[in-house]
Structure 1
Amino acid sequence: MASSSNVSLPSPSIFGGEENDFWSARMKTYLRAYDLWDTVVNGYTPPVEGNEVEDLTVQQIKKQKEDSTKNFKALSFLHSAVEPSLFPRIVGASIAKEAWETFQEKFQGSERVRAIRLLNLRRDFHNLKMKDSEAVKEYVSKLMKVVN
């Protein structure tokens, strides 16, 4: 009988620059399944070189190694989940959090940009009216476009 830890997950969704919200939700779930989401959210601080390294306990060294491994696993998943045309945007990132934030800033926008988009969507929704010459199917299609 196979244990649940032997179950392999499907590959992450490939991001092509559209539908960032859906891709972000899928990637968050994917990274959580591998216990890597905290690494993306909290970031990773590489170990400091020099005398401070010599003063670390074995447990601290193991923790740093584990954190480093998680960071590079998460970064690897992010690298493999984007189309080649978008890869140059994150190729220079050595920390998964940095790569994630690059995509969020570019494709989701800052808080101000999102607020403006939301206002525009609200306006579009309130101005949406069915024309006399318009079929119900066409109107529903326009409505779903705004909703999505």
Structure 2
Amino acid sequence: MKTILRSRDLWDLVHDGVDATDKDAGKLKNSQKRDAHAMAIIQQAMHDQLFSRIAAASTAKETWEILRMEFQSDSQVKAVKLQGLRREFENLTMKESEVIGDYFGRVMALVSQKRAYGEEISDQTVVEKVLRSLTARFDYVVPSIKVGHDLSQLTLVKLMGCLQSQEERMKPIYP
């Protein structure tokens, strides 16, 4: 959202608000128009449930503050949410009936949430977690990946590709 607002040169209004004390009526009117444009962009991006929370806001800055409090909260709430996400990440394992693509989707959704709350998590950490948490049917694949690749350089996309190709090889020839 910040990127969109910056690209349209509206972030300053969202961050600082409209200067209502501006004596230049033309400049004030232009700022108010840009503020309304910023609000419209933010509102268009909101799901119906979130929209109801920001509907009463009268400026882009006020709207942004409501959303910031909703998603970032104060540091104590943020720390609690991060702790829950860390626990969930550590306990995450692949289900027996799950395919690699679905498992990576769950892992990356969790990693994205952690990063959104300010947690720095390296790709290597995620790669190592995935390799530790695969089902037993991948037990013979994991050591070959560890030997064949430098885990500090192995990207998540490359790992997913390796595991998906092994998964395809494991499928029975006749259904």
Q: TM-score range by the shorter chain?
A: 0.5 to 0.7
Larger relative helix fraction: 2
Deviation at 1:63, TM superposition (A): 2.7
Distance, in Å, in 1 between the alignment partners of 2:78 and 2:71 is 10
Larger radius of gyration: 2
Give the corresponding residue for 1:94: 58
Say what the alpha-carbon RMSD is for the aligned residues.
Answer: 3.0
Normalized against structure 2, the TM-score is what? 0.50
Normalized against structure 1, the TM-score is what? 0.57
Unaligned runs of 5+ in 2: 113-175
Count of aligned residue pairs for this structure pair: 111
Which residue, out of 8, 17, 36, partners 1:72?
36
Give the corresponding residue for 1:116: 80
Structure 1, 65-74 or 101-110: larger mean CA deviation:
101-110
Percent identity between the aligned chains? 39
Offset from partner CA, 1:75-102 (integer Å, 9 cap, x none)? 1222222234433322221110111111
Moved over 4 A (4+): 127-131, 133-136, 138-142
Unaligned runs of 5+ in 1: 1-26, 48-52
SS of match in other structure, 2:76: helix
Give the corresponding residue for 1:37: 11
